[in-house]
Structure 1
Amino acid sequence: MGKPGFRADIEGLRAVAVLAVVLFHAEVPGIGGGFVGVDVFFVISGFLITGLLWREANSTGTVRLRGFYGARARRLLPASALVGVVTAIGAAVLLPPLQARTAFGDGIASALYVSNYRFLLQGVDYSAPYLPPSPFLHYWSLGVEEQFYLVWPALILGAAWLIRRSRRRTAIQATASVRPYLVILAVVAVISLAMSLVASYWAPFVAFFSLPTRAWQLAVGGLIALTAGQWRRLSPRAAAIVGCAGLAVILVTCRQLSASTLYPGTAALWPTLGTAMIIGAGCAAPDQGCGRLLGAAPMRSIGRISYSWYLWHWPVLIFAPLIVGHSLGLAGRLTAALLSAGLAVLTLRFVENPLRFAPKIRESPWRSLGLGAVTTAVAAAVGVALLVVVPTPVGRGAPARPLNFTALPPPIARGDAASYDEAVKHAFAEVQSAVAASVDLRDVPSNLQPPLADAAAELNDMYRSGCMLSGWQVSAPECASGDTASTNAVAVVGDSNAAMWNQGFRAIAEQRGWRLEMVVKAGCPLLDLPITSPQLHREYTECEQWRGQVVDRFRAEHPKLIVVTMWRQYGPGSGYPAGLTSYSASWNDSLTRLVRQLRDAGAQVLVLGPIPDPHSVPPICLSGHLADATACSASRSRAVDEAGIAAEAAATTAGGGQYADITDLFCTAERCPAIVGNTLVYLDKNHLTIEYVRLLAPALGALADRALAIS
């Protein structure tokens, strides 16, 4: 490998990468796959860093780690820390306290360059799709890059050491041949790609965020660096064709891919190979073909600010709507993106370049490392300090009277519809009275249950209880409660909205002596409709398999009552693109078929209607409105789809089942409060708290009694 010259085309390629990411995050139409810009950055990093390390190892027989890490620290850490500190302070000022505290944790992880693994763990959290995005989310890719910088020199040095030991060569001799290093990089690339493909199917968040499943893209860049001599043999015409083809591949993937694409998966091969083609072709003719475009002054100018622009664009896009007080249209988002570009120019001018090129710092690896350590420590310390300064949000209002609903005992005469209707009416009236008394509540009670900070953990209790299957599971372990030896079996079946009713039905089962079976799977309604999984980013085959097993099981076991319910926000615009739409004609037809199937299995069928849609994450909203809880209550007209409920009720009746509209357990004629008494109703946009479900047990019992008694 010869000495490299400045590659204007690579600087312009950085512009392509950052423009793709920024326009994607600004939701510009036609850039649904702009997230591939990160893949482009990975290949560029692999090429540049591998070339740098190899040239040093080839000329000296070793890698001066202090110099290498010092240069990386001087180049990357000050700007990253600056933006991190500003973002953390912005979160403290602009975000509701509960969301801000989560952001501070994200900021600390980002300062330490492990945020990719923090977001990986958050990504497999079932509640993740319903929570607001972190202003530090984009730092995940910096985590991957910094971890790469930590590992890559050790890989080069380790390879040289093995060659010296096995062939008894000197340090210079051990790095004289590029072939062993090509083999090592190729092995790393193949293993990493295999891991990525497997993880993309089974655990997409792992594949997306982790270094081991992204290393193949960095290794591809490294392979181009080690084979630069072969690439230089291309004729200018061939190089121009290859480079233009590579750029076309990147642009097409930006256009054709989307957030619902299974990624990285095989889709990531395209931008990775496209980038490799551009860089490889540029080894032969950097100013030919697309190199001429990429090397143009405007592209190079954008490329120079690409790092700082990447750092600034996402928090600006997150905070801008909060500053102006309303969501942004396309023009507003583009304006915010341009503002972040202006901040990037200032950061390059006054932070990046002065520290990067300051002679006293540049000439001393120790000073460079010290600069990086200090800026990192400052960024982390600010996050820690804000966690201390911004208190955990708690209610400050007067304690509210705890609620305790009771219900009439089950009527003695089975088949007496009027008596059962009266029991239901009584149970609903008690709850409705409490809801009406709470609709104007302003101060969040000091004895709120659960406390705002504890609500987020409840959804995951559904997994830990063993009752709700994850996206990957198909076969369910037995999940029975109540009198497990009873022949009066009641089954609750559906997705997480069915699982959330567990504690309420369990209380009733213990009172009535029923055997309660929870048959629930995350993101999987029992309806026979095609569905994709936003968590898995692919067809939800496990859901289809589970549905078949559940129906066969009910045919064999003959439960007395099957309670069916599910989330009713599936569809476009829900933030959960599952490929089916609640209340649609196909939805209602499928519901009729399902009810008929279950009735044919010998069971009574009760379909529970939907809970209201609060149109916010109430714990987060309330944390920012401790003195005005009404700001977090939705109007009934907005929270409840009356027409959809009516259509579902008709579909259920057509199948021979009973339908329960439960809206009055949450709403008055006008509003649906987020707090009833001293109880928080919702734990997120789509699920109830365990505490409120327990309060509703008498109403659930009255509905189940009526369904069992009235055929």
Structure 2
Amino acid sequence: MAVHSLTSVNSAEEVQSRPKVQTTFRPDIEGLRAVAVVAVVLFHAAMPGVTGGYVGVDVFFVISGFLITGLLWREVDSTGSVRLRAFYGARARRLLPASAAVGVITMIASFLLLPPLRVPSVLHDGIASALYVSNYRFLQQGVDYFTAHSFPSPFLHYWSLGVEEQFYLVWAPMFLGTAWLMGRVRRRKKAESIVSQQPFLVVLTLVAVGSFALSLVTTYLAPVTAFYPLPTRAWQLALGGLVALTAGYWRRLPRHVASVIGWAGLGMIVLACIWFDPTTLFPGTAALLPTVGAILVIAAGCATPSLGCGHFLGWSPMQAIGRISYSWYLWHWPVLVLAPELSGHRLGLPARLAAALLSAGLAWLTLRCLENPLRFSPTIRNSPWRSLALGGVATAIAVCVGLTLLTVVPTPVGRGAPAATPHVTATSPPPAGSPMAAYDAAVQRAFGEVQAAVAASAGLTAVPSNLDPPLAGLVEQPGFPADGCLRDFVQSGHPECAKGDVTSATTVALVGDSHAYMWAPALEQVATEQHWRLEVLAKAGCPFMDLYNQNSLFRDVNENSSHCEQWRTQIITRLRTEHPRLVVVDTWRGYGFDETAPPTAGYAAYDSAWIASLTRLVQQLRAMGSTVLVLGPNPDPHTSVPVCLSGHLDDVMACTPLRSTAVNTSGIAAESAATQAGGGQYADLTDLFCTADRCPAVVGNTLVYSDSNHITNEYSRLLVPAIGALADRALAHG
């Protein structure tokens, strides 16, 4: 697979005068690997003070760029060619068996430990990881690395391995192609065939500049899109490569200067680990801090690999950690994710650290029993074809295991007796001009019927066999129709989304995020019955309040990634034009809260900024002449209810939250007061979901929640009489 030598060396003196890439073992780089993996592991273990430990992956990218570029340059410099079979064979022998082995064990453990409804998604992640395309799978799914830890994939960390493997696939042909072009130019000019570093420096500089520009722009437009793919990460690998090509110049640094540079670089990495957190806009310019830090450490080591910070990095414990860094990285995340499933409860900090240490032990075993024997086996090492075959077989085994397990995942079907479909009687609204007491009575009647159905289901033990919707058809996201009325994170503007009696002169607008949209099935039926025109205006991830002006960080993230502020402005302008008689507002109350990470929004639901913003919103809508109805939150079950039920088909109570933990009573009271202060009406919906002590996951045969926070379309339609009575009351006495 290698081309013939393109160059020959005619001048020994010229060759000796060119800067060379260091070929000896670098203990400082092994120690730097230890720093990187410890940072990542402690971040994933939610260690206080290491909120930016995810930058360890950026350090790994720089190291890979330095080592792989150095390896390729040495071969091009000595032979004028790159032996692709040997290069890819060495990478396959080194990386694929361990990755595949951990992947297979993770898939089997996930199959055995996770609820059936979660298993297919994890197995697909495992297959994608075995093929080293999981970074694009997570990108396509819109998985935010920093907010995916409530129900994380045990393969989430494989995204960086995908970037590394894609880097290997691209880098070697890029070097080979550059060398080939150099040879053609020199033959055409009949110039001396001396390999020059300049074209490679130019190529890597162009890659670094182009990739960084793309990363910078994409980070501000769509951070998730910038985080995972190789094109927005290649600049970090290219900068590491530039250090490799200029290593000879770095070696000339005075020792005291190199020592200062090395410590400064290590300090930059540590600073990023403790300064950054999941709210940091990343990668973007923030990634420069750990990247430049890693560059400085490696560059200083070219001059003094055993002095300055190199002395610390060369310390035997750091070397030991560095040796297991690859396997530790592979093991730590699945252990942290699956350990709670094995223990049956969330892990505290001591338990998480113990799990991390356990994964280090597994890494040592993997290194001793799998990595090193295969890596250094003469039979395999001396044959690129055997090395490639080893990697191919390992990958094929992992993929086949995933596909096989997919075929035997049990279908979650309720084991309980069929339950009756709950029924809430719809009544006609009071005659026009009726006093408020008549409308209050209608609301109370509807709520009372729902409460009776909820109470009758509070003691349910087994999932009904006629559950509606059935668990088998659900995934870990709400089943919203693709009608365009719910805009996603990157869509701007809003189409005409009229429902009900579209010719009616009475317009009701439903406005908010996906939690507003989940009431569209109920309000659409109400609008049809009452001959209203229902306008649905919803955008996922965007609370319909002016919170973006309260926190600059949140504004930076969402104004660019989701266009929330622009969308809100457009909708306000549209409401001013359309003059709806009633505006129904709802939003998710989970913004700013995450059970394993710091707030990602820069504020929290129910805090002072939230409450003040709600009052301003109601006042703004009232000033347009519209009546405002703010719907209170549905209870928060703190888990994906369908997933939980799929693992507890005979124990519905295991997925039924306590009212005291699912309902924020003080927050609801504060929102109610804020809405009334703005001149609107507030509807506390808690009694549509909860008894005095529990909030059932199943009412009759109807599944209440479609995921961890949205209600199902079926339950929304069940509540039509209650939602209709609230809307009638609001319209009659706005």
CA shift in 2, pair 1:173/1:207, >3 Å: farther
Instruction: State the identity as a percent.
Output: 62
Name 1:475's counterpart in structure 2: 493
Name 2:169's counterpart in structure 1: 150
CA distance in structure 1 between the aligned counterparts of 2:254 and 2:341, rounded to whole angstroms: 54
CA shift in 2, pair 1:35/1:173, >3 Å: farther
CA distance in structure 1 between the aligned counterparts of 2:381 and 2:571, rounded to whole angstroms: 66
Amino acid at match of 1:545: Q
* 2:218 equivalent to 1:195: no
Question: Residue 687 of structure 1: which of 704, 710, 733 is its match?
Answer: 710
* 2:511 equivalent to 1:490: no
CA shift in 2, pair 1:67/1:585, >3 Å: closer
Name 1:506's counterpart in structure 2: 524
Amino acid at match of 1:548: T
> Which runs of structure 2 are paired with 1:311-710 in the superposition (5 Å)?
311-456=330-475, 459=478, 461=480, 464-530=482-548, 538=557, 540=559, 542-573=563-594, 577-710=600-733
CA shift in 2, pair 1:459/1:126, >3 Å: farther
Count of equivalent residues: 710
* 2:150 equivalent to 1:105: no
Secondary structure at the counterpart of residue 212 of structure 1: helix
Amino acid at match of 2:141: Q
Following superposition, the deviation at residue 592 of structure 1 comes to: 2.5
CA shift in 2, pair 1:503/1:457, >3 Å: farther
CA shift in 2, pair 1:127/1:24, >3 Å: closer
Secondary structure at the counterpart of residue 242 of structure 1: helix
Amino acid at match of 2:544: L
Amino acid at match of 2:722: A
Following superposition, the deviation at residue 178 of structure 1 comes to: 0.9
Following superposition, the deviation at residue 512 of structure 1 comes to: 1.5
CA distance in structure 2 between the aligned counterparts of 1:74 and 1:568, rounded to whole angstroms: 49
Amino acid at match of 2:394: T
The farther-off stretch of 195-204 and 174-183 is: 174-183
Name 1:35's counterpart in structure 2: 54
CA shift in 2, pair 1:4/1:305, >3 Å: same
Secondary structure at the counterpart of residue 116 of structure 1: helix
CA distance in structure 1 between the aligned counterparts of 2:270 and 2:613, rounded to whole angstroms: 41
Amino acid at match of 1:4: T
Amino acid at match of 2:402: G
Following superposition, the deviation at residue 323 of structure 1 comes to: 2.6
Name 2:29's counterpart in structure 1: 10
Following superposition, the deviation at residue 427 of structure 1 comes to: 1.9
CA shift in 2, pair 1:199/1:244, >3 Å: same
Following superposition, the deviation at residue 533 of structure 1 comes to: 11
CA distance in structure 2 between the aligned counterparts of 1:321 and 1:573, rounded to whole angstroms: 17
TM-score relative to the length of structure 1:
0.95
Following superposition, the deviation at residue 603 of structure 1 comes to: 1.4
CA contact (8 A) 2:98 2:370 kept: yes
Secondary structure at the counterpart of residue 420 of structure 2: coil
CA distance in structure 1 between the aligned counterparts of 2:191 and 2:537, rounded to whole angstroms: 65
CA contact (8 A) 1:124 1:535 kept: no
Following superposition, the deviation at residue 213 of structure 1 comes to: 0.7
Question: Residue 39 of structure 2: which of 1, 20, 29 is its match?
Answer: 20
Amino acid at match of 1:423: A
Amino acid at match of 1:138: H
Amino acid at match of 2:434: G
CA distance in structure 2 between the aligned counterparts of 1:226 and 1:54, rounded to whole angstroms: 7
Amino acid at match of 2:667: G
CA distance in structure 1 between the aligned counterparts of 2:429 and 2:36, rounded to whole angstroms: 66
Secondary structure at the counterpart of residue 585 of structure 2: strand
Following superposition, the deviation at residue 8 of structure 1 comes to: 1.0
CA contact (8 A) 1:15 1:303 kept: yes
The farther-off stretch of 7-16 and 541-550 is: 541-550
CA shift in 2, pair 1:96/1:533, >3 Å: farther
The farther-off stretch of 114-123 and 429-438 is: 429-438
Secondary structure at the counterpart of residue 221 of structure 1: helix
The farther-off stretch of 121-130 and 585-594 is: 121-130
CA contact (8 A) 2:146 2:278 kept: no
Deviations 1:646-672 (A, max 9, x none): 222222222222221111211112211
Following superposition, the deviation at residue 457 of structure 1 comes to: 7.0
The farther-off stretch of 325-334 and 272-281 is: 325-334
CA distance in structure 2 between the aligned counterparts of 1:237 and 1:406, rounded to whole angstroms: 84
The farther-off stretch of 549-558 and 332-341 is: 549-558
TM-score relative to the length of structure 2:
0.92
Secondary structure at the counterpart of residue 516 of structure 1: strand
CA distance in structure 1 between the aligned counterparts of 2:228 and 2:286, rounded to whole angstroms: 15
CA shift in 2, pair 1:688/1:170, >3 Å: farther
Question: Residue 136 of structure 2: which of 114, 117, 123 is its match?
Answer: 117
Question: Residue 167 of structure 1: which of 186, 201, 209 is its match?
Answer: 186
CA distance in structure 2 between the aligned counterparts of 1:171 and 1:96, rounded to whole angstroms: 69
Name 1:272's counterpart in structure 2: 291
CA contact (8 A) 1:160 1:175 kept: no
Amino acid at match of 2:532: W
Following superposition, the deviation at residue 86 of structure 1 comes to: 1.3
Following superposition, the deviation at residue 325 of structure 1 comes to: 2.9
CA shift in 2, pair 1:22/1:129, >3 Å: closer
Secondary structure at the counterpart of residue 535 of structure 2: strand
Following superposition, the deviation at residue 175 of structure 1 comes to: 6.7
Secondary structure at the counterpart of residue 303 of structure 1: helix
Secondary structure at the counterpart of residue 659 of structure 1: strand
Deviations 1:591-638 (A, max 9, x none): 233222222211111111110111211011011101111210111122
CA shift in 2, pair 1:461/1:631, >3 Å: same
Following superposition, the deviation at residue 115 of structure 1 comes to: 0.8
Following superposition, the deviation at residue 474 of structure 1 comes to: 4.6
Following superposition, the deviation at residue 163 of structure 1 comes to: 2.3
Secondary structure at the counterpart of residue 671 of structure 1: coil
CA shift in 2, pair 1:327/1:595, >3 Å: same
CA distance in structure 1 between the aligned counterparts of 2:314 and 2:588, rounded to whole angstroms: 52
CA shift in 2, pair 1:357/1:126, >3 Å: closer
Tell me, which stretches of 5 or more residues in structure 2 are unaligned? 1-19
Following superposition, the deviation at residue 156 of structure 1 comes to: 0.9
